[in-house]
A and B are shown apart, each in its own frame.
Chain A
């Protein structure tokens, strides 16, 4: 059953250099209990896509299109209605646990707050529930640590606290936006394992946003690749990784240093740099850097071309791209 259906979602930001299309007609659907990864570099629009769904866009940004969550279009809800969805049916974990937590309140209070707001729990009941949640996300001695403040926790533990907050109301959808980018690799592993375990136990759907192909590969069933605000490739994770098809996805895989490749193996590079949002051409966003681009690429955003039943890419030169892979 479909939990979330995003249709032609676009976001326009107002920048110093005029309006910039941060998200361009992104459409995807997410079933209950499904895990979805969104991979892309800075400025690809991956965070903007979820912020638009949550009504958390920065000042001056406008969103268009639809994002139907359990049948209701999130983009047309007013602030009060959105507040009832956020933190209740949709839990969010952000990149920086230190800025996501309020330094002036104890972690227990911040977990309990969600429960009091959405569930109308009493102070005592929500505190007991907060202890249970902190224990569940692996905070040692949760009953003793519930009154501690964010600065008394390590980075990994703080991220565990934000996960406890996101989980408090038993959401149907957990959105994790670069949840481990600020953490060390061994801690990253623990947090990803924790999220994977919780998602499985609670049968939640997951949207995991990351710039790291490895993080995506190991944690989600389906993958979206974004570049320059557009969804350039999507498919089951195993297919996207076995047969990256869009020239950008292919370039990304080749440019990544691999363990065991050894010294002296030259990395292939993608020429140029990620363009600024205001400079993204009306056609394929990757055309300026693509080794296969032809004049027609600049005409319009390419349509999605199916590669298999569960794999598609937006590229008009897909036949050549697939041949070269």
Chain B
């Protein structure tokens, strides 16, 4: 395996909640509770989890939009927290982001040409060079060069998301972080954007970190998946292995909960009776899933399972991963 392009080493992120009392220190919520992850060049990694699991926080920290509370984020081996201004500019060029909402992420008063060219401002190109770059990148996402003079409202949701991808591509980034890039789109349009992401990966060898709550989307685009739960990675591996024989009960529950277009399918529940599933991000001893997991045993309540190897290129944070893997398929 080549040296990782992006590396997270035991990253913790805490946010202070609004102060409730003047006499007490504000309470904290742990968004990331020690995440270690490596993404190699050319690879596409999917980050799956529910709201509040920390997947977007991880994306924002990876692109240095926010500092980590502790731990280390390295891009091409360099700690992003201690970069010089010059290196930081390079990082901004090499790592780009695509956001969820193509209606909110494009300035309605700017032309497409301006929006797409904006990341180039730091690179001091002249006008002709910028225009050439815009035309090239619009073509690569399936839009026409003439679209550069139009405004965002003239485009549909799927086209807007293509524009957002074009803006990310224009600096020829090494890594694109896409945070729920298709969840705001209709199904018939979503497919166009997913195919585009796949093409870009093949043509330009861009490394992708794709954040999504939709397992099928990740399965479609990524060669590796990490499942997050309450600020931790609970399982990691190839989509095929993970979805066929999940080694972590939470992954299993996610797959089982996914609605499938099969009329009258039998369902399996993750929650035990009266489970409410409130994410408390409490920092007690024991496994963070123990209160929801139907397979939890005594050991789970006293000892937190580390993320450990459970097979080839496969990690899971469960004491009983080997047993869970042998359970009959979740769907």
Contact = CB atoms under 8 A, between A and B. Distances in A.
A255 B187 contact: yes
Contact of A186 (B190, B223, B254): B254
A41 B276 contact: no
Interface stretch (B69-77, B171-179, B191-199, B314-322): B191-199
Interface string A145-188: 00000000010110000000000000000000000000011111
A252 B213 contact: no
Contacts of A267: 191, 194-195, 220
Given A256-B187, A257-B220, A274-B189, A193 B264 contact: no
Interface in B233-275: 239-240, 243-244, 253-265, 267, 269-271, 274
Nearest to A255: B191
B215 interface: yes
Interface string A96-112: 00000000000000000
Contacts of B187: 41, 211, 213, 252, 255-256
Contacts of A256: 187, 191, 216, 261
A91 B156 CA distance: 35
Contacts of A190: 269, 271, 277
A288 B239 CA distance: 37
Contacts of A17: none
Given A186-B253, A273-B158, A259 B186 contact: no
Interface string B187-226: 1111110110010000000000000011111011111000
A186 B191 contact: no
A214 B191 contact: no
Given A190-B277, A262-B240, A217 B271 contact: no
Contacts of A188: 257, 259
Given A41-B188, A269-B195, A261 B219 contact: yes
Contact of B276 (A154, A265, A273): A154
B113 interface: no
A70 interface: no
A258 B216 CA distance: 5
A8 interface: no
Interface string A247-258: 000011101111
Given A42-B186, A257-B194, A262 B219 contact: yes
Contacts of B36: none
A213 B188 CA distance: 12
Nearest to B270: A186
Contacts of A200: none
Given A211-B187, A217-B260, A157 B276 contact: yes
A258 B260 CA distance: 9
B159 interface: yes
B105 interface: no
Most B CB atoms within 10 A — which of A42, A189, A261?
A: A189
B123 interface: no
A41 B157 CA distance: 13
Contact of B191 (A154, A184, A257): A257
B278 interface: yes
Interface in B264-298: 264-265, 267, 269-271, 274, 276-279
B50 interface: yes
Given A257-B214, A259-B243, A263-B221, A214 B259 contact: yes
B191 A263 contact: no
Nearest to B52: A184
Contact of A185 (B213, B221, B240, B243): B213
B28 interface: no
A140 B276 contact: yes
B188 A255 contact: yes
Interface in A12-36: none
Given A140-B276, A186-B50, A257 B217 contact: yes
Most B CB atoms within 10 A — which of A41, A259, A267?
A: A259
A154 B279 CA distance: 9
A218 interface: yes
A237 interface: yes
A237 B269 CA distance: 23
B198 A264 contact: yes
B215 A259 contact: yes
A185 B169 CA distance: 31
Contact of B216 (A41, A154, A259, A268): A259
Given A186-B270, A269-B195, A214 B189 contact: no
A257 B271 contact: no
11 contacts: A41-B187, A185-B50, A213-B261, A214-B258, A214-B261, A218-B265, A256-B216, A260-B219, A260-B244, A273-B156, A273-B157
Given A41-B187, A255-B188, A265-B220, 11 more contacts: A140-B276, A154-B279, A185-B254, A189-B259, A190-B277, A212-B259, A237-B263, A256-B191, A266-B195, A267-B191, A274-B188
Interface of B: 50-51, 156-159, 186-192, 194-195, 198, 213-217, 219-223, 239-240, 243-244, 253-265, 267, 269-271, 274, 276-279, 331
Interface of A: 41-42, 138, 140, 154, 156-157, 184-190, 192-193, 211-218, 237-238, 241, 251-253, 255-270, 273-274, 289
Nearest 8 interchain pairs by C-beta: A214-B259, A273-B156, A184-B50, A267-B191, A255-B191, A189-B257, A41-B186, A270-B188
